Amino acid sequence: MKTILAVFIFILVVFVAKAQTMPEAFIGLLPSPPGGICAEGENDAKSGFIKRVGEVHDQLQEEISRRKDEIENKVDRNKSKMQQNAMARTGVSPELMQQMMALEKQSKGATGDQAKAYKEQKKALADQMMQQSMNISMGEVENLKKMDKAGKTSWTEAYATEKKAEVMADPKAYQQKTAADMKDFKLVQKQKQLADSLGAQSMKYMKQFEDLEKDENAQALLTQIDELEAKLNEEYKKENRQNDDAIKSLSNSIRNLQISYCNLQSPKYLDILSKYKSFIQASLTPYYRLEKLTNQVSAAQTGVDLSSEPGMMGLQQIEAYLSKLSDVYRYNHISPKYVYIGAE
């Protein structure tokens, strides 16, 4: 009984630990933007928010880095097998592939005549590989480039006839290959459609953030601020100022415009941010599905299953949102209130 209980506790601990590294857990850690975004200067709400965002960012980066390292290690362990499988799909024999890999390794660091010799060997080997996979030589490819339109048409027709003869020689093998290719094509198509859909939705919010930066009313305020700051700079250059009334007036005008700018832009930014967060939360399940499809495509193309812990794509989306969340004070450039110090 004790043994069963111990095993159950171990499984529970592992499950809880794993759950804490999933995208849903990080969504729960995200702080909400504080009120008073356009408040002047530092305050507890602002400093507390920035601190919390930094803590979540560090945790998220650590988890993403850990997962990336695991994926890279898995790729490194299976690199040779993946290359062999990928080449096998092209119809190139393992012997030729191994010769090419050996040449690549031997030629590293070669210079002068030795480098030229390796280049010629690799070119000759590439010619054999092309003939095996496509039944076309490098020489034919070069000649094809020089042909006129009529010559290219004739060559294409001859090549098509040759391929048709190969199919007729073994129709069953052709049908099996066609069916496998179609299955892979449909899988890639499905993966691309989902990736494009999620990417388009994400880009919609990026476009809204970008458009907000270009808001005409906001740009007009910034222009006024720039003009007044230029005048303020000229005032500071003057010598023997009797009093600071002009500086005081300009400083207060600049500050009021800065407040208007923040009050105009920040609510819009927070509104886009809120909708963006809702999209991120709703997209986690589709991203799990996209990950699965991407792994299936990779396995079909390389013959190696590189599946890792689910949720990496979701974590990367949260990382993108966190970047926008950390920037909620971007429109607050409010200068401290002008304190007039007149001549005593």
Q: Which residue has the higher pLDDT, 252 or 237?
A: 252
Q: Which residue has the higher pLDDT, 37 or 240?
A: 37
The region of weakest confidence among 40-44, 172-176, 209-213 is 172-176
Whether the pLDDT of residue 3 is over 80: the answer is: no
Whether the pLDDT of residue 165 is over 70: the answer is: no
Is residue 50 in a domain?
no
Is residue 197 in a domain?
yes
CB-side neighbour CA atoms (13 Å) of 211 = 8
Domain count across the chain: 1
Is residue 186 in a domain?
yes
Phi–psi pair at 21, nearest 5 degrees: -105, 5
pLDDT band at 175 (very low <50, low <70, confident <90, very high): low
Cβ partners under 8 Å of residue 117, min gap 6 = none
pTM: 0.72
The region of weakest confidence among 3-12, 90-99, 102-111, 265-274 is 3-12
Q: Which residue has the higher pLDDT, 4 or 331?
A: 331
CA pair distance 10, 8, nearest whole angstrom: 5
Is residue 183 in a domain?
yes
Torsion angle of C-alpha atoms 183, 188, 189, 195, degrees rounded to 10: 150
Whether the pLDDT of residue 6 is over 80: the answer is: no
The region of weakest confidence among 1-5, 148-152, 188-192 is 1-5
Q: Which residue has the higher pLDDT, 281 or 41?
A: 281
Whether the pLDDT of residue 137 is over 50: the answer is: yes
Is residue 248 in a domain?
yes
Is residue 215 in a domain?
yes
Task: Print the domain residue range for 329.
Answer: 171-344
Cβ partners under 8 Å of residue 50, min gap 6 = 326
Whether the pLDDT of residue 132 is over 60: the answer is: yes
Q: How many helices (H) and strands (E) does the chain have?
A: 11, 0
Is residue 217 in a domain?
yes
Residue-averaged pLDDT of the chain: 81
Whether the pLDDT of residue 169 is over 70: the answer is: no
Is residue 242 in a domain?
yes
Q: Which residue has the higher pLDDT, 115 or 30?
A: 30
